[in-house]
């Protein structure tokens, strides 16, 4: 997968109806960070099952995981019955390596489900949480990465985890800010400080965000 541009992010995946555009905003990323509300986080009541994920929103036989794998492959996989994928190759930007075959990949929620819950999703409806967990409307939201890097990250925010590949960190925190802005999520003080620290060493590039809610 080619590195994504912070200037003109694409929307290569088909967006489910629940995430239809509600307006588009373009801001320099550091300005976008200042627009995110700062609030303490609370994980009370969180369960992963409250975010129904890997659905087949467009009923084409391929669930969200498969759609991301197909869209982000650098060598297209073979697609068999029931959208079973085999072969193919992917680039995992978190750890700067290529992976052959889908078995070594996870689909990462850039802003993890637990972090989204902490940041405002606890107040959403079940349908809104399902739309978030299967967000194919913005290619920054879900990303195919090595299983090892995804499991190292788990549900951490940038104050405690950044991609091992130093060259991807500006992209990562820029996308994090964009994803939080898209879903009107908050940041906590430590998270805001960590994002600002990384962005101080990055181009203050514009990000374009289509609001999901």
Which sign, positive or negative, has the C-alpha torsion 159, 196, 138, 10?
Answer: negative
Structure token pair of residue 1: 């997968």
* pLDDT computed for residue 150 by the predictor: 98
Residue 29 vs residues 14, 16, 72, 167, 175: alpha-carbon distances, Å:
25, 26, 24, 17, 9
* pLDDT computed for residue 18 by the predictor: 36
Q: In 47-165, which ranges are continuous DSSP H helix? A: 64-72, 113-118, 126-133, 147-153
Q: What is the pTM of this model?
A: 0.89
Give tens-digit pLDDT for 143-174.
999 999 999 999 999 999 999 999 999 999 99
Strand 97-100 to 89-92 pairing = antiparallel
What is the DSSP-derived secondary structure letter of residue 101? S
Give tens-digit pLDDT for 4-35.
333 333 334 443 333 344 699 999 999 999 99
């Amino acid at each position: 997968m080619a590195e994504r541009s912070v200037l003109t992010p694409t929307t290569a995946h088909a967006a489910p109806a629940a995430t239809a555009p509600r307006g588009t905003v373009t801001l320099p990323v550091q300005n976008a960070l200042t627009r995110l509300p700062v609030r303490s986080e609370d994980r009370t009541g969180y369960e992963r099952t409250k975010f129904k994920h890997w659905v087949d929103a467009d009923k084409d036989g391929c669930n969200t995981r498969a759609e991301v794998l197909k869209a982000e492959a650098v060598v297209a996989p073979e697609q068999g019955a029931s959208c079973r994928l085999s072969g193919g190759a992917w680039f995992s930007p978190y750890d700067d390596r290529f992976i052959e075959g889908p078995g070594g990949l996870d689909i990462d929620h850039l802003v993890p489900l637990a972090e989204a819950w902490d940041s405002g999703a606890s107040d959403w409806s079940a349908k809104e949480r399902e739309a978030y967990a299967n967000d194919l409307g913005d290619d920054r939201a879900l990303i195919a990465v090595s299983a090892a890097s995804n499991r190292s990250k788990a549900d951490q925010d940038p104050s405690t985890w950044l991609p091992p590949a130093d060259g991807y960190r500006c992209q990562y925190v820029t996308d994090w800010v964009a994803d939080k802005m898209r879903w009107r999520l908050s940041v906590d003080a430590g998270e805001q400080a960590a994002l600002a620290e990384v962005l101080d060493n990055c181009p203050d590039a514009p990000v374009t965000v289509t609001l999901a809610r």
